Amino acid sequence: MSLYGNVVLSYTLIMLWGDFMKKAIIIFMFLLFIVSCSNEQADSTTKSKNDNESETLVSDEGEVESDEPNISDDEDVTDSNQNGSEEFIEEESPSDEEKPAQLENPFNEELALSLLEKYNGINDSLHELVDHETYHDGYGSPFHNITTKQEVGDLFEDFIDPRVVISLWDERLIEAENQLYVIPTDSPPDFDKKDPYQIKKEDSITYKLINSQTNKLHGTFKQIFTFSKKDSKWIISGVEHDHSETE
């Protein structure tokens, strides 16, 4: 091949190579553009996904925040219960602290009759404590194991003041020679609920029962029983016999 032919061939090859490179560059640029677009789309998708997740998170947080009023409501309920309890205490406490003495173990007719029934049993109780087989002139019959009047009064202190017992039986009891004697004589009259009676209130811890009686032994008279509260317990604190009035 001649020199001219070689030149033409070389030129032709260069031109073809140039066209090929141009096409290759164009293709490369096109591919780069496609890749760039894909990346942008992916970034856009990722961003959109992240935005959605953020919105979901915000929404969830909003729901959590919406729960807070419920907690507040519960607190209000608790406060309401506390207030109710305080009102309940305010209603009870004054009644406990200022409760009148008569409302604790209050006095009533049933209680009075119960105490008087025990009072009626004093004569029989004393009778059982006396040695009736033995009698000393001027003294009477001795008690088995009792030597003083005070001991007699103390036997019944759970329902009657010992001083009342001693006062009622004083003339019938004799202390002598370290011994207590009882003189055989009439005992104080018993209370008879069949006879008319009435109960009067003196104050919050003192009541009186007035009993009118008529019998062959004592005639017509009034018995006045006084009831008092001692250490939260009701007892008979006085007994009087009034013969000045007749009915």
pLDDT of amino acid 105: 84
Percent of the chain surpassing pLDDT 90? 47
pLDDT tens, position by position, 99-108: 554 457 899 9
In the structure encoding, which two tokens stand for residue 143, read together? 């008690």
Most confidently modeled of 2-6, 90-94, 162-166?
Answer: 162-166
User: Contact at 8 Å (CB) between 33 and 39?
Assistant: no
Stretch 196-202: mean pLDDT: 96
Average pLDDT for residues 235-244, to the nearest whole number?
Answer: 93
pLDDT tens, residue by residue, 70-88: 433 443 333 333 333 333 3
| CATH architecture of the domain with residue range 106-242 | Roll (3.10)
* Mean pLDDT in residue range 227-237: 95
pTM above 0.85, yes or no: no
Q: Where residue 199 falls among pLDDT bands split at 50, 70, 90?
A: very high
Residue with the bigger pLDDT between 20 and 192: it is 192
Give the residue extent of every domain in the chain. Answer: 1-99, 106-242
What is the DSSP secondary-structure string of 30-96?
HHHHHHHHHHHHHHHHHHHHHHHHHHHHHHHHHHHHHHHHHHHHHHHHHHHHHHHHHHHHHHHHHHH
Q: How far is 225 from 240, CA to CA, in rounded Å?
A: 7
> For residue 37, what are the CA distances in angstroms to 26, 27, 41, 72?
16, 15, 6, 52
Structure confidence at residue 29 (pLDDT): 78
Overall residue count recorded for the chain in this entry: 247
pLDDT digits (tens, 9 = 90+) for 116-148: 999 999 999 999 999 999 999 889 999 999 999
